[in-house]
Structure 1
Amino acid sequence: MDDVVEELGHEPNGYFWEGVARVLVDTEAAALEGRFSYDPEGGMFCAYGRDRGALEELGARMAVVATDADRMRRLVVAAEADGFEFDD
C-alpha cells in the first residue's frame, strides 16, 4: 500500500496514518470522537485509550483502507477536496 500512498503524493508514515484515522472518524464514525488518543511517530501509528471497543472499531475501519487501494485513493482524494491536510 506504500506505493499507493506515495502515488497520492504522501509519505506512508505514522503521521499520514493518523490523518487517515482522523478522516475516518470525522466522516464515517463520529461516535468514536474523543474515545481514544493518537500518538504517531515517523515509523508507526498508534491510537490508545481505555475504550477497547472504540479502538477495535477504528482498527477495523483502518484495515479496510490499508488493504484496498481504491478505498485509499477515494479517502485521500475526498479528504483533500474537503480541505484536510495530511501531516506527513
Structure 2
Amino acid sequence: MKPLKLFETTPGNFSLLLDAGTTQVDETVQELGHEPNGYFWEGVAQFLVSTEAKTLDGRFSYDPEAGMFCAYGTDRDALQELGDLMSAIAADADRMRALVAAATAAGFEFDD
C-alpha cells in the first residue's frame, strides 16, 4: 500500500495517511496542471469512491492538509480498500492521467 500508511491512532480509530509530494506520479500531476498536495489527493479519493468503490461512500471522513492526505474513521477495512485503490494510482502515471481525464470529463474539480 506504499506510499500510503494505515495505522490505529487510538483503540478502534484508524487513519490512512499520504505525505504529499512523495509519490511516483507527482511530476505527472503537475504536468496535468495540478498541485500534488493533500487536497488534490482528497479529490483522487473522492473520485475513486464515486466511480470505482461506491460501497466505501460514507464509511470514513477526510481531513487533508497541504502537505498530507488523511482519511480516518473506525472502519479499518474501508480505509484499507481506499489505500489499495490510491496506492495503485500513486504508482502509475498512466492510471493518474486516465483518472484526471475521467474526472475532467465528468466535471469533477480537484481542490488543489
TM range (shorter): over 0.9
Q: Unpaired segments of 5 or more residues in structure 1?
A: none
List 4+ stretches of structure 1 deviating above 4 A: none
Contiguous gaps of at least 5 residues in structure 2: 1-24
Match of 1:11 in 2: 35
Please give the TM-score of this superposition, normalised by the length of structure 1: 0.99
Aligned AA for 2:73? G
For the pair shown, the structure with the greater C-alpha radius of gyration is 2
Indicate yes or no: 2:89 matched with 1:86.
Answer: no
Q: What is the CA-CA distance between 1:75 and the residue it aligns to? A: 0.3
Identity within the alignment, %: 73
Q: After TM superposition, give the deviation of residue 63 of structure 1 in Å.
A: 0.2
Q: How many residues align?
A: 88
RMSD (Å), alpha carbons: 0.3
More helix as a share of residues: 1
2:97 to 67, 73, 80: 73
TM-score, normalised via structure 2 length: 0.78
User: How far apart are 1:65 and its partner, in Å?
Assistant: 0.2
- TM superposition shift of 1:77: 0.7
